[in-house]
Chains A and B, each alone.
Chain A
Amino acid sequence: MSEITERTPQAVLPPEGGPARGRPSPLGGVLGVLARQREVTVFVVAVALLLYFGIRYNSTFVSQTNLSNLLSETAAPIIVIAIGEVLLLICGEIDLSVGFVFTFAPFLMHYLIDFYGVPAWPAIIISLLFGVLVGWVNGFLTVTMGLPSFITTLGTGFILLGLTLTTSHAYPANIPASTVGIGRWIGAAPWSQFIIAVILTAVFYVVLNRTKWGLYTVATGGNQLGAREAGIRTGRIKYGNFMITSTLGALVGLQTAWYTNTIDPSAGGFQPMFYAVTAAVIGGTAMLGGQGTILGAFLGGIVLATLLNGLNVAGISANPLNIVLGAAILFAMIINVRLARLRAAGRK
């Protein structure tokens, strides 16, 4: 759609006309930086929120426990899933099922260890590989069968939920004792989830911005036909990003199980996925394909977690909290759209 609007008004500019446009006014310069480095806006918002809650509710908000709660328990799962969603949103797809991989993965680990006697490490790895499998199925249905990913992942999500509830009889399970030691490193220790989220953010930042995979992900979402004509296997890119997202979902599911020290059939579900998409949007990822930022999703996750945690500390109940969240999403999206228009205007 954007392509048509880009092309039809044939601005017949000779190439020499170029430099004149590139001389920005001071205000235009600031807007330009904001527009190009979308992350800057979110960064400012995140810092402002942290400062606000930090100063206002000094004693409770700035405690070790609360900060590790905020960053590890609340922000990290949002961030890790958001990384996957950003990749998918950039290539023009979405994954609604990721939260149900989150739910099922720790149960799978539990079944493998406690019912089939599989050792801890293989069981963990198989549970993560289960995420790869779900991603493959999502890719198959979306790319090969041609379903819209919104429907594909809605379907696979419900199937996974049913699978979880049926096999667990909707009862929580205990963490297999053999995984407790490993679980401390990956999820249970106060800062481990956040540290892993930071590492994954860094890794996927590089993947998106400095590798062929990232370039092809943008190309796939920006102009799928064009990318294909250039010889890029866009289907493979989508398959891969579905697999990455589901695997990240499985990882977060395991981490959360270790952190909360229980395997809970009501953990996960749609909520982490919606939070992740929210973080991506707040961070500046457009839902139109071709554009998105991993760093923005990371910061968006922090903003979201700060709001969730801070309003909680401030004693505001969970019900009006949703009003604030909804408004924040809309506000962020309005800014995104405005900035995109500013950018477009700056070109002409």
Chain B
Amino acid sequence: MTAEPTPTPATPGAVADAQGDVLRVEHISKRFGAVRALHDVNLHLGKGEVLGLLGDNGAGKSTLIKIICGFQPPTSGKLLLEGQEVSFRSVDQARAAGIDTVYQDLALINELTVYHNMFLNRERTRFTLLSNRSMRRTAREQLDRIGVSLPSVESEVAQLSGGQRQAIAVARAVTSNAKVLLLDEPLAAMGAKEGAMILELIKDLKKQGQVSIIVIMHNYGQALEVCDRINLLQHGEITFDKLVKDTSVQELNDIVIEEYRRALEERQRQEGQQSA
């Protein structure tokens, strides 16, 4: 690692806002009592774009995702989906509008089969009875189409590996005709092989161009590999917005090292005040 001190250009919106963004987040703030989780966040997502959302633990990434997907409302600010202002009162509403989420904890039900999980909460029925055969067939087709290989769609999800489970969760979101897909740390707690499978899946989706993706990641190398653009969230604010081709692991690392250095100084100053 060469110590090349790149100055951090903390200029939000460094990339010109394209017309026809699928999703725009405008001046979103979120408070939990006295805690300021998000402050005046602006973010945009182009059609077919993969946007990497990076940031320290507690920087507000998950809060932002939860607001976009309708799990909780913002304190202020607005969301625009394909130019229309939207406000979701539930995950259901957001999903109906085309925003779907793959959570860190996957939201898969171990005790149900792969195909029931893929159709969870949008099951096909005939005369109120589940059309299992039809769901099985479609699940198989959809997994094949996006290139996820599984021995059987009738296995219980509990029988699958971490990567397979993640793939099913992603497949579930993609096949619900989502316009915007939110992936919350899809590679967390995953081995290299499995992680590669998910990265491959995201790349394939990008190639197909049907869905726009916001993905939370921790590994800069992986983020730069699959994303088109990177946003960095620090203390509830977006402080960095660059196309992948204009940045590097080095630059991102330096920003974070700088953040650590400041946090350390802050701590030392506080301790100094206390002892004084």
A10-B161 in contact (CB<8A) = yes
Q: How far is the CB of B115 from chain A (nearest CB, A)?
A: 11
A211–B90 Cα gap in the complex (Å)?
Answer: 23
Known contacts A206-B129, A215-B116: A229-B109 contact under CB 8 Å: no
A138–B104 Cα gap in the complex (Å)?
Answer: 33
For residue A64, CB closer than 8 A to chain B, the reply is no
Q: Please tell me the size bucket of the interface on A.
A: 35 or more
Known contacts A211-B129, A226-B106, A290-B111: A231-B162 contact under CB 8 Å: no
For residue A145, CB closer than 8 A to chain B, the reply is no
Contacts of B120 in A (CB 8 A): 215, 219, 227, 230, 232
Contacts of A10 in B (CB 8 A): 161-162, 189-191, 194
Q: How far is the CB of B96 from chain A (nearest CB, A)?
A: 9
A30–B171 Cα gap in the complex (Å)?
Answer: 34
Contacts of B128 in A (CB 8 A): 211-212
A12–B164 Cα gap in the complex (Å)?
Answer: 10
B149-A6 in contact (CB<8A) = no
Contacts of B116 in A (CB 8 A): 215
For residue A11, CB closer than 8 A to chain B, the reply is yes
Known contacts A218-B111, A347-B159: A19-B194 contact under CB 8 Å: no
Within 8 A of A (CB), among B111-143: 111-112, 116, 120-121, 123, 125, 128-130, 132
A319–B262 Cα gap in the complex (Å)?
Answer: 75
Residue in A2, A7, A14, A218 whose beta carbon sits within 8 Å of that of B162 in the complex: A7
For residue B33, CB closer than 8 A to chain A, the reply is no
The count of A-to-B residue pairs whose CB atoms sit within 8 angstroms is: 105
Q: Please tell me the size bucket of the interface on B.
A: 35 or more
Q: How far is the CB of B173 from chain A (nearest CB, A)?
A: 10
Residue in B130, B151, B192 whose beta carbon sits within 8 Å of that of A15 in the complex: B151
A215–B112 Cα gap in the complex (Å)?
Answer: 8
A75–B128 Cα gap in the complex (Å)?
Answer: 30
Interface centre among A211, A225, A229, A344 (most CB of B within 10 A): A229
Contacts of B190 in A (CB 8 A): 10
A22–B158 Cα gap in the complex (Å)?
Answer: 15
Known contacts A13-B161, A18-B151: A211-B109 contact under CB 8 Å: no
Contact with B along A8-30 (1 / 0, CB 8 A): 00111111101101100000000
Q: How far is the CB of B272 from chain A (nearest CB, A)?
A: 42
Residue in A18, A218, A231, A291 whose beta carbon sits within 8 Å of that of B150 in the complex: A18
Contacts of A226 in B (CB 8 A): 103, 105-109
Contact with B along A206-237 (1 / 0, CB 8 A): 10001110010011011101110111100000
Within 8 A of A (CB), among B181-203: 189-194, 197
Within 8 A of B (CB), among A226-254: 226-227, 229-232
Contacts of B151 in A (CB 8 A): 15, 18-19, 21-22
A15-B189 in contact (CB<8A) = no
For residue B71, CB closer than 8 A to chain A, the reply is yes
Known contacts A22-B151, A347-B159: A222-B109 contact under CB 8 Å: yes
B112-A7 in contact (CB<8A) = no
B107-A15 in contact (CB<8A) = no
B123-A12 in contact (CB<8A) = no
Known contacts A15-B151, A18-B150, A18-B151: A218-B109 contact under CB 8 Å: yes
Q: How far is the CB of A31 from chain B (nearest CB, A)?
A: 16
B130-A229 in contact (CB<8A) = no
Which residue of B is nearest A15, CB measured? Answer: B149
Known contacts A15-B149, A226-B109: A212-B191 contact under CB 8 Å: no
Known contacts A11-B161, A15-B150, A229-B91: A222-B112 contact under CB 8 Å: yes
B105-A225 in contact (CB<8A) = yes
Contacts of A231 in B (CB 8 A): 90-92, 95, 121
Residue in A12, A222, A225 whose beta carbon sits within 8 Å of that of B193 in the complex: A12
A210-B95 in contact (CB<8A) = no
Within 8 A of A (CB), among B166-225: 189-194, 197
Contacts of B112 in A (CB 8 A): 215, 218-219, 222
Q: How far is the CB of A326 from chain B (nearest CB, A)?
A: 29
Contacts of A219 in B (CB 8 A): 109, 111-112, 120
Residue in B95, B107, B158, B162 whose beta carbon sits within 8 Å of that of A347 in the complex: B158
For residue B29, CB closer than 8 A to chain A, the reply is no
Contacts of B192 in A (CB 8 A): 12
Which residue of B is nearest A213, CB measured? Answer: B128
Which residue of A is nearest B106, CB measured? Answer: A226
Contacts of A6 in B (CB 8 A): 110, 158
Known contacts A10-B191, A19-B151, A290-B110: A215-B92 contact under CB 8 Å: no
A223-B161 in contact (CB<8A) = no
In the A-B complex, list the 3 residue pairs whose CB atoms are closest, starting with the nearest: A18-B151, A226-B107, A12-B191
- 18 sample A-B contacts, Cβ–Cβ < 8 Å, listed by A number: A10-B189, A12-B192, A19-B151, A206-B129, A210-B132, A212-B128, A212-B130, A215-B123, A218-B109, A219-B111, A219-B112, A222-B111, A222-B112, A226-B107, A226-B109, A231-B95, A290-B109, A347-B159
Spell out A's residues near B (CB within 8 Å).
2-3, 6-7, 10-16, 18-19, 21-22, 206, 210-212, 215, 218-219, 221-223, 225-227, 229-232, 290-291, 344, 347
Known contacts A2-B110, A211-B130, A347-B158; 8 further A-B pairs (Cβ under 8 A): A12-B161, A15-B150, A16-B149, A21-B151, A211-B128, A215-B112, A230-B120, A232-B120
Spell out B's residues near A (CB within 8 Å).
71, 90-92, 95, 101, 103, 105-112, 116, 120-121, 123, 125, 128-130, 132, 148-152, 158-159, 161-164, 189-194, 197
